Amino acid sequence: MSANDITKAVDLLLHAEGTGPKRSRRPEYVDFMPPCNSACPAGENIQAWMAHAQEGKYFEAFQVLMADNPFPALMGRVCVKPCETGCNRNHIDTTVNIHAVERYIGDEAIRQSWPVQFNASPSGKKVLVVGAGPSGLSAAYHLVRMGHKVEIFEAGGHAGGLLWTGVPDYRLPKDILDAEVDRIVRMGVTIRLNYKVQDVITEKEAGKFDAVYLAIGAQIIRTEEFEQDDSVLITDAFSFFSSVKSNTSPFIRKKVVVYGGGKLALYLARMVMRFGSETTVYFAGDKKLMPAYDYETEDALAEGVDVQLLRSISSISNKKITLEKMKVEKGKAVGTNEFETIDADVLIIANRQEADSGFLRSIPGLVINEDGTINIDVQRMAGHEGIFAGGDMLPGENRSSTIAIGHGKKAARYINSYLMGQAYIKPEKHPTAGYRKLHMWYQTDAPQKEQDKILPAVAVQNFDEIVAGLAEPEVRFEAQRCLSCGNCFECDGCFGACPEDAIIKLGKGNRYKFNYNACTGCAVCYEQCPCHAIEMVPEPVNSTDDVKK
């Protein structure tokens, strides 16, 4: 053996984690951030409520859910599920069906009229929320839980925002939306409908509000510039949603063109299919530029919607739409000066949603961007003392109900701190427990319980909800597929593996402690912990601790 080999061997021995009279490292129980929690825009403690669901304790799961998100039945249906994309089970088989478990809990809460348990002393403070969409409702809900009085002013005739005006019944039955909004009202939030705020400062002063939260949804469509002769009925997405509630005749058995590439365009196309019309979606970009998620496009295609990419509307004449063929250069769609013509009776424009924020220009200090979005500072204030903003009117983020709900919760925390006369300081996040941190020594094969879906040929015949929920045994099974990444679930793996009996059980729900007088630092407990709730850390200098949790 060479001198170099001997040096390496000695170095390995000096830094080894094995048994011996003196430890170089010791085990510690830790809590990491599960990837599902980390990915959730609403900031749900998914792993915590999933643990209750594993035991069939759905009421307790509901209370944990409601600490972060007031809409479990809604989000179990319309959320785009980033938590499931991040789920570590994707490295084993398929993600835990998180949204299906959440939906079941939300539906049970509605069916059994479960109350939200919270204690809040009245603060004497009063907050105005402008807009009763998911962001405004979320902010109001959390502010009430903090003890503040909240009033929502809503320009429309129904609470829910885009969940009401922009999501079809086949995706979200409106009785579910109403039930979860009614729960918030019963908690003390006042909603004033059909009241459009024109001057925020005047309303703030007249109502003696201590703070304002602006939560205006993106419910206008930017006008497209092209020549047209009125031979084709042209409407925008939200005018369409409004008009079909009372009159569907202009859209029945027609040749309909929908212009846009987001989920809104696909929702519209699938609705028109249910009116017996031939429907085609055109989008100027390619698939990478298309805002809609792949599964939304696939569902539309399955129902018979034709989706054509790289096409931009140039002009309309004699019931014909002229389209320019496009190409993508440097991430943008540009024209090719090549054209084609199609027949059409109706054109529905569902491209480039914006917030109707013009009335906010009278607020001193507030900055409105070209696309109608507004800027906020690090305390989520919109350039004017006591006025905060969130949801679809903020720039730089994909729009979704889950993001809007998360904005509402965040804003409530900042508003609460403002009302209490202090700045809000975000708590530090724990490191995320990625799959490589886990020690999966046991068998984990457990195929996902998928939700039943109505066949596309049947679905297009009506507006019945397409995706069904899971039954209770399936929900329990699905919850038990959770790996509890990064957090101890008391599997006793460390307790049973320790050769020195250095681990002390503290009773169900209290986890364990290490007896460091007995621990040799062998790291067997670390290697046996499947969820990485134990970390090996450097031995403290001159440590006198003999027992540590």
User: Does 16 score more than 50 pLDDT?
Assistant: no
Domain membership of residue 323 (yes or no) is: yes
Q: Residues 505, 450: one domain? A: no
Domain membership of residue 121 (yes or no) is: no
Q: Residues 186, 280: one domain? A: no
Identify the CA nearest to 70 among candidates 211, 213, 188, 171. Answer: 188
Q: Residues 515, 503: one domain? A: yes
Q: Residues 446, 539: one domain? A: no
Q: Residues 178, 241: one domain? A: no
- Which residue, 385, 419, 453, sits at the end of a domain? 419
Domain membership of residue 237 (yes or no) is: yes
Q: Residues 229, 259: one domain? A: yes
> What pLDDT score was predicted for residue 545?
52
pLDDT-derived band at 79, boundaries 50, 70, 90: very high
How far does the chain reach from its first CA to its final CA, in angstroms?
Answer: 44
User: Does 406 score more than 90 pLDDT?
Assistant: yes
Identify the CA nearest to 99 among candidates 160, 180, 39. Answer: 39
CATH assignment of the domain containing 538:
3.30.70.20
Residue range of the domain that includes 456: 35-116+429-480
pLDDT digits over 309-324, tens only? Answer: 999 999 999 999 999 9
> What pLDDT score was predicted for residue 77?
97
**Angle 214-220-223 from CA coordinates, rounded to 5°:** 140
Domain count along the chain = 4
- Asked if residues 433 and 484 have their Cβ atoms less than 8 Å apart, the reply is no
Q: What amino acid is encoded at 379 in this protein? A: Q
pLDDT-derived band at 300, boundaries 50, 70, 90: very high
Domain membership of residue 424 (yes or no) is: no
Q: Residues 209, 169: one domain? A: yes
- Which residue, 354, 376, 397, sits at the end of a domain? 354
Q: Residues 133, 186: one domain? A: yes
Q: Provide the total of helices (H) and of strands (E) in the chain, helices listed first.
A: 19, 22
Q: Give the strand order in the sheet containing 306-309.
A: 233-236, 346-349, 255-259, 278-283, 306-309
- Which residue, 368, 396, 419, sits at the end of a domain? 419
Give the SS3 label for residue 235. Answer: strand
* Percentage helix, strand, coil for the chain under 3-state DSSP, each rounded to 5: 35, 20, 45
**For tokens 């200098």, what's the residue?**
541
Winning range, highest mean pLDDT, from 196-210, 417-431, 435-449: 196-210
CATH assignment of the domain containing 407:
3.50.50.60
Domain membership of residue 103 (yes or no) is: yes
Domain membership of residue 443 (yes or no) is: yes
pLDDT digits over 186-210, tens only? Answer: 999 999 999 999 999 999 999 999 9
Q: Residues 301, 340: one domain? A: yes
pLDDT digits over 235-286, tens only? Answer: 999 999 999 988 999 999 999 999 999 999 999 999 999 999 999 999 999 9
Express as a percent the part of the chain with pLDDT over 70.
94
Q: Copy the structure tokens of residue 546.
A: 């003999």
Q: Residues 229, 347: one domain? A: yes
What is the overall mean pLDDT for the chain? 92
User: Does 19 score more than 50 pLDDT?
Assistant: no
List Cα–Cα distances, 521 to 238, 286, 353, 540, in angstroms. 64, 56, 59, 13
Q: Residues 180, 247: one domain? A: no
Domain membership of residue 379 (yes or no) is: yes
Q: Residues 226, 207: one domain? A: no
For the entire predicted model, the pTM comes to 0.90
Domain membership of residue 245 (yes or no) is: yes
For the residues 429-445, what does the mean pLDDT come to? 87
User: Does 333 score more than 60 pLDDT?
Assistant: yes
Express as a percent the part of the chain with pLDDT over 90.
84
